[in-house]
Amino acid sequence: GPLRAVTLQGFKRAKMNAQYVERRRSEFLVNGCETYWSTCGESMLYWCKKETRWKGSRTADFEKIKAGAAPCHIGATKMLHVLAPGFLRGWHEWHGGEWTLRQDAGVCSIGPVTPPLRTVALAGFVRVGMNATYTER
């Protein structure tokens, strides 16, 4: 099926408020589950088997996470899937040296990844009006 995307909002750490796109190829699995990577490439979501919750961390920590470490800046409610219907809210965030419950922070949208529209540029035609960029609709 199509890749899924999940969008988070409500965190003080601005980089965690982002759209995350599913990565399900074997090299991106953590604890047997898909991971979700922010479109800017700086943050990721992963299933922490040890704590039975979804966590958000820096992508720079990916190799440590695959090796069994569990660093994070945000953590979801235990035992609930990040794609749960009704949107998963009430995440915790490490901010100012302590964990804080953010009642309204968490998932604000879930959906399929929409591929970008394809374009083609034509050039070199005698009829000048044909030399243009066309975008699929």
Question: Can you tell me the distance from the alpha carbon of 89 to that of 102, in angstroms, rounded to the nearest whole number?
Answer: 8
DSSP category for residue 56: E
> Which residue shows structure tokens 């992963």?
46
pLDDT tens string 85-99: 777 889 999 988 999
CB 35 within 8 A of CB 28: yes
Provide the whole-model pTM: 0.80
Question: Can you tell me the distance from the alpha carbon of 52 to that of 95, in angstroms, rounded to the nearest whole number?
Answer: 21
Query: 88: buried, middle or exposed (CB in 10 Å: 19+, 13-18, 0-12)?
Result: buried
Domain residue ranges of the chain, discontinuous segments joined by +: 4-119
pLDDT tens string 58-90: 999 999 999 999 999 999 988 888 888 777 889
